[in-house]
Structure 1
Amino acid sequence: MKEFKLNNIPKIEPGFKTPDDLYFANFSANLLDNLPKNEPKTISLFQRKKAIIMMVAAIFVLALVIPSLINNTSQSNQLDSATLENYLSYQSNFNQYDLINALDEEDINSINTNIVLEDQTIEDLLVNNNNLENYITE
């Protein structure tokens, strides 16, 4: 093998040369001139992902809320008569005069209906019920 001496062999010149000083002085002006004037609008993929995530979250919330709303609206807001009677009977400071004072004329007219009972119905009730004293005292 041939002996290699770094200082004696002619060196190869590099293929890259730096341009003269005017190139670097005018570089920013040349770059701005070469840029396109009207750039197209770009839509970020993150914004699309964000919109999709928000839609999925809204659908998820609706899926959780709608069944509870259906259950709440299906339940009646009016009290049944048994609950109302129990409440009124166990309130010691509520009497019939308080009830009369709380009613207005429309309520009284709606209560004032004639109930027609047949004699046979009354007889059956009296025969089957052992608490005749309650009916007599009331």
Structure 2
Amino acid sequence: MKTFKLENEPKIATGFKTPDHYFENFSLKMMQQLPESEPKVISIFQKRKNLIMMVAAVLVIALMIPILNYSTTSTSELDSTALENYITYQSNVNQYDLMSGLESEDINSLNTSITIADETIEDVLSENSNLENLILE
């Protein structure tokens, strides 16, 4: 194979040629071809900003649900039927446990004397066939 030397070979002329004084007037011609009004610029972060705000709002609402739920369900008053059912179905609660939970004012209000006629007591005892349980209670 022959050795190829770049400097010795004849050079081929390019097919492209710039017109005379082309680069001197280039900037003026380019500025005339540009539109006068600039296009509206839409920020990339504008859509992201709306998305971030929506995610933040959902996060705040999600964090507030347990707090609002706790504040609406926490009541210090007990339902009387729930308390009666609890005491009824708990076999280890006796009268002394109940009395220890009462204050002295409550105990004094329970000490009122109830007057029942003798005839009423006789009627209840005669109608009730389970006298042994009544005596034991």
Q: Normalising TM by the smaller chain, what interval?
A: 0.3 to 0.5
**Higher relative CO (CA 8 A, sep ≥ 6), structure 1 or 2?**
2
TM-score by length of 1: 0.43
Q: TM (normalized to structure 2)?
A: 0.44
